[in-house]
Amino acid sequence: MGFATHLGPWLLGTVKEGAGRNTGACPCIQTKNILYTDQTAQTVIAVVPAGSYIQNLQFVITTAFATANPTFQIYINGTAVTSAVAVTSPALGATGVAAIPLGTSNPGLVLNVGTTDAIVSFTNTGTTATAGAGTLVLAYLVRNSDGSAFPSSV
């Protein structure tokens, strides 16, 4: 089975009762394919559940960019959580994986996206590329809408 819908937290493992209970949050990913022409304001990457913690964002360059690599700014519900981040590695004209740092502008939103489902979006402000494509890969933890990841009682 490839997809599942659920509410967290999950019970993990075989210990179901008592202090040793294996509860926690499971990581999830959503992806967004983009082209060098995706330069509109706040293009949606994903919608994540309320309370989620954004773990990381990667840009997998599958078709090398010509002229200039993208420069991303990342938003959660319209609020910037990064400054403009220029993709410098892999180098122009190469394919590979680039880490996009998060939380430089608003780390609290990265730790907990809020009490409602959150739209994670980007702008690509720095490219005049004539070719290039890739996939943004957003990893996050599903938690309760208040940001908690564990039940208050057993």
Tally the domains of the chain. 1
Nearest Cα neighbor of 142 from 28, 30, 11, 19 is 28
pLDDT of residue 27: 84
Helix, strand, or coil (residue 76): strand
**Which tokens in the block code for residue 77?**
């519900």
Identify whether 112 is part of a domain. yes
The domain in which residue 137 lies consists of 26-141
Helix, strand, or coil (residue 108): helix
pLDDT of residue 106: 92
CATH code assigned at 100: 2.60.120
Identify whether 32 is part of a domain. yes
Give mean pLDDT in consecutive 10-residue pieces for the chain, a chain of 154 residues: 55 60 74 87 91 94 90 94 91 93 92 94 82 94 77 54
Rounded to an integer, what distance in angstroms lies between the CA atom of residue 124 and that of residue 14? 45
Identify whether 2 is part of a domain. no
pLDDT of residue 5: 64
Q: Tell how far CA 152 is from the center of its chain.
A: 27
Identify whether 149 is part of a domain. no
Are the C-beta atoms of residues 28 and 6 closer than 8 Å to each other? no
Identify whether 115 is part of a domain. yes
Helix, strand, or coil (residue 111): helix
Identify whether 15 is part of a domain. no
Report the predicted TM-score, pTM, of the whole model to 2 decimal places: 0.83
Compute φ and ψ for 98, nearest 5 degrees. -115, 135
